[in-house]
Amino acid sequence: MEINSKTKIYGLIGHPVEHSLSPLIHNFAFRSLDLNCIYTVFDVLTDNLEDAVKGVKVLNIKGFNVTVPHKERIMKYLDVISEEALKIGAVNTVVNEEGILKGYNTDAKGFIDSLIEAKETISGRKAVILGAGGASKAVCVSLALNGINSMVIANRNVDKAKDLAEYIKKEFKIDCNYCSINEVEEMSEIDMLVNATSVGMYPNVEDSPVSEKVVSKAKFVYDLIYNPFETAFLKYAKRNGIKYSNGFSMLINQANHSFKLWTGNFFEKDLVYMHLKEGITHNL
């Protein structure tokens, strides 16, 4: 593709951003659909976030993704925020419509899509969510919106788990409890177990948020982490013959929903998945 005066610019705002896979996903998708667009990364420090958002308007950047640590803070600089993003309290996708910046959250949709692809039903299920940060909130809201029966939020900081559980209970009128990570060890059985913490992420690949004993009690195990492709947490599931999934499909699915917001079209997920897996996963 030739970059010219008509090329539309998209990107990622965050800090740090140099290891992001988003440029590989979106630039491949743009090429596959013969779109005159490019995607790059913008390393933006927290103190410069407001100026960066103003720059998006001035430079007519057509849209961008948002990653840590800006997903929550950026909301106050946007003109319109979707209902789902408001419920989650975070934005990961922004569309620039003639100078009006609209914020969305595609993480939740990406997570649900990945469960559907794994042929896991949600309605009527019981879930244990490890972690109480932004990723956990997106998971909890998406499960609540899709018919989960009940949830337990487990976190090292129990106060954070309590705050999130009370929010989910009040907002969605479902059974949502909380406990410490250590208390998960005492559970007799677990239906759906989701790791929404960063424990086990590269380079600390030997770490797991809970023991193998806990994982062995679950019927289905999900780790939002995709680097490494198979965490210690997921290795426990594999060793015990438990169905499991990592965050790679969620990464692609949330990117696809962002792509749709920007271009009006979904990309071909299988093509993007194979492109990434062939070119990158041996290095993850």
Q: pLDDT digit of tens for each residue in the chain (284 aa)? A: 789 999 999 999 999 998 889 999 999 999 999 999 999 999 999 999 999 999 999 999 999 999 989 999 999 999 999 999 999 999 999 999 999 999 999 999 999 999 999 999 999 999 999 999 989 999 999 999 999 999 999 999 999 999 999 999 999 999 999 999 999 999 999 999 999 999 999 889 999 999 999 999 999 999 999 888 899 999 999 999 999 999 999 999 999 999 999 999 999 999 998 888 776 655 54
Which residues are tagged catalytic?
71
CATH superfamily of 109-246: NAD(P)-binding Rossmann-like Domain (3.40.50.720)
Residue 237 annotated in ligand binding: no
User: Which of 197, 143, 202, 203 has its CA nearest to residue 175?
Assistant: 143
Domain at 8-105+249-283: CATH architecture: 3-Layer(aba) Sandwich (3.40)
Residues of the chain with CATH 3.40.50.720: 109-246
Task: Return the closest-CA partner of residue 191 out of 126, 120, 143, 131.
Answer: 126
User: Binding site annotation covers 55?
Assistant: no
pLDDT at 276: 87
- Core vs surface per residue 248-278: b (16+ CB within 10 A) or e: bbbbbbbbbbbbebbbeeebebeebbebbee
Is 224 annotated to bind a ligand? Reply is: yes
Q: Identify whether the C-beta of residue 128 lies closer than 8 Å to the C-beta of residue 215.
A: no
Helices 107-117, 134-145: inter-axial angle, 10-degree rounding: 60
Name which of 181, 115, 186, 117 is nearest 148 in CA terms.
Answer: 115
> CATH 3.40.50.10860 spans which residues of the chain?
8-105+249-283
H or E segment at 40? strand 37-43
Which two three-digit tokens encode residue 244? 């499991």
Residue 106's alpha-carbon distances to 89, 134, 255, 276, 278, in angstroms, are: 12, 13, 8, 20, 25
Look at residue 191 in the predicted model and tell me its pLDDT. Answer: 98
